[in-house]
Amino acid sequence: MTAVLPDALAPYWLDVAAFVTFLVMFAGYGLLSGMQWLSSRSIVGAMQRQRMQWMRNMAVRDNRVVDTILLGGLGQGNAFFASTSAIAMGGLAAILGSGERAQKILETLPFVARSEAFLFELKIVLMICIFIYAFFKFAWAFRLSHYASILIGATPIVGAVPPEAVERHARATARLIGLAAEHANSGLRSFYAAIAVVAWFFHPVLFMLTSGWVLAILVRRDFFSRSRALVASLNDPYVGDGRG
């Protein structure tokens, strides 16, 4: 490993290996799980089919207050996580300003590996970048929830337009709500990734192990959880994948 690294990075080959492992694990999982053939088998795909059915039921109701209330609750959850990400960014920026003192405090804990000041600051910067990404994801999901509320209000009245137009509008609304959920899901995964990065402050080997552990939790919850099986069992064949 040290033979392929620049001389300046050779002493930190284990940290470089841990960082690359982290990127491959989470970036790779994000790309793979976003593919349609795989996402349709996850809890994300199962919930999207339920959103499609929700919008079809909404389209035939005259009173849609309950639907807007439900969507508003989902949007408030995204707003909460967006503000939490902003608070985390501020706290980490404050630590970055007094990195040397914070590093000394952290190194008084047992099992914490000593590292250079610049490496400690890089770890903080990585966490800041993760929460910046999470903030943008949650903020956009919150905005998409507003757009979806408008589409619910603009849903055609059944009987006033052809049934095909109502179906097309319901599918588009369900897809927009699904997009908001996809961005919110990416933001939540960022929080999981930040937990893995915390282990890097202790040791790069622990960082790699924790990254694998967190990724295993994500895979289980997305594809093998009891909640995924329960929601998937409710999907009727006529609903379709809701991606239209």
Which helix (H) or strand (E) is 145 found in, with range?
helix 117-153
Q: What is the mean pLDDT of residues 140-159?
A: 90
With cut-offs at 50, 70 and 90, classify the pLDDT of residue 161. confident
Amino acid 157: pLDDT: 82
Torsion angle of alpha carbons 194, 178, 80, 189, nearest 10°? -10
Predicted local distance difference test score (pLDDT) of residue 99: 64
The pLDDT confidence band at residue 105, using thresholds 50, 70 and 90, is: low
Q: How many CB atoms lie within 10 A of CB 8?
A: 7
User: Which range, of 25-29, 36-40, 111-115, 154-158, averages the lowest pLDDT?
Assistant: 111-115
With b meaning 16 or more CB within 10 Å and e meaning fewer, what string describes 110-142? Answer: eeeeebeeeebbbbbebbbebbbbbbbbbbbbb
Where are the domains positioned within the chain? Answer: 41-239
User: What confidence category does residue 168 fall into, taking pLDDT thresholds of 50, 70 and 90?
Assistant: very high
pLDDT at 241 over 50: no
* Pair of tokens at residue 146: 């507003």
Residue 94's pLDDT band (boundaries 50, 70, 90)? confident
Q: pLDDT of 181-237, one tens digit each?
A: 999 999 999 999 999 999 998 889 999 999 999 999 999 999 999 999 999 888 654
Task: State whether residue 161 is helix, strand or coil.
Answer: strand
